[in-house]
Amino acid sequence: MENKNPKIKARIIWISLFVCFFVLLLSADCFLFFKIQEGSRKILTSKGDIKTANLQTKEVQKFMSKYSEYKPNLERIDKMFADPQNPLDFIEFLESTAFSSNIELSISPMTSVKDGQSKAISLSLTLSGDFSGTLAFLERLERGPYLISVKNMEAENTEKSAKTTLSINVLSR
């Protein structure tokens, strides 16, 4: 019986070593499988990024080839925004519009405001003159080259003239 006992112990040791080796091999395979899977995901993401970059490059090249066609419209759009550092063009527009509408114009100090993602110049205008001149001014202001939103308007009508106060925002760069 003593002879069988060492043989059984040796078999048990060999089986235990085999099982441990098998578990270790299986763990290594799982680890490598997950690493390969992670690498594959990164490669697929990189391929998607490369495709996106290629599409963006094509769109930029397409835009650049047609830039000469777009340039006049882009310049017109750029002129729709008042320059907050130098609002002289905008003030001249207001004064010439008031003059051609035959009304007197008073402009309050300007302040810069940020409304969400857009920047604007906020100011108050006081118009004095006859009602038809005020309407002509408002119509020219609406059709003018700047993007203007009227925030508040108060009008007073007397026998001789109309006095109108406007609070406006002009989109700026």
Judge residue 98's burial from the number of C-beta atoms within 10 Å of its C-beta, 0-12 exposed, 13-18 middle, 19 or more buried. buried
Same domain, residue pair 111 and 134: yes
151 has pLDDT over 50: yes
The stretch 26-45 carries a mean pLDDT of 87
* Residues counted in the chain: 173
**Going along the chain, which residue ranges are E strands?**
104-107, 111-115, 118-129, 148-157, 162-172
Distance from C-alpha of 107 to C-alpha of 168, rounded to nearest angstrom: 11
Same domain, residue pair 84 and 163: yes
**Going along 60-110, which residue ranges are E strands?**
104-107
> Pairing between strand 148-157 and 162-172?
antiparallel
Q: φ, ψ for residue 109 (rounded to 5)?
A: -60, 145
Same domain, residue pair 147 and 118: yes
pLDDT of residue 32: 86
Q: Is residue 73 part of a domain?
A: no
Percent with pLDDT over 90 in the chain? 12
Distance from C-alpha of 140 to C-alpha of 122, rounded to nearest angstrom: 19
Q: Is residue 9 part of a domain?
A: yes
pTM above 0.85, yes or no: no
Q: Is residue 49 part of a domain?
A: yes
The stretch 12-25 carries a mean pLDDT of 88
How many domains does one find in the chain?
A: 2
Last residue of a domain, one of 35, 65, 95: 65
Cβ within 8 Å of residue 169, ≥6 positions away? 113, 115, 120, 121, 122, 148, 149, 151
Same domain, residue pair 53 and 110: no
Instruction: Determine the structural domain holding residue 92 and report its residue range.
Output: 79-172
Q: Is residue 74 part of a domain?
A: no
Pair 84, 170: CB distance under 8 Å = no
Cα Rg of the chain (Å, integer) = 38
Tens of pLDDT along 113-141?
776 777 888 889 999 988 888 889 989 98
Pair 105, 125: CB distance under 8 Å = yes
Same domain, residue pair 113 and 155: yes
Please provide the average confidence, as pLDDT, over all residues in the chain.
85
* Residue 152, domain CATH: 3.30.70.60
Cβ within 8 Å of residue 14, ≥6 positions away? none
**Sole residue written with tokens 């680890």:** 31
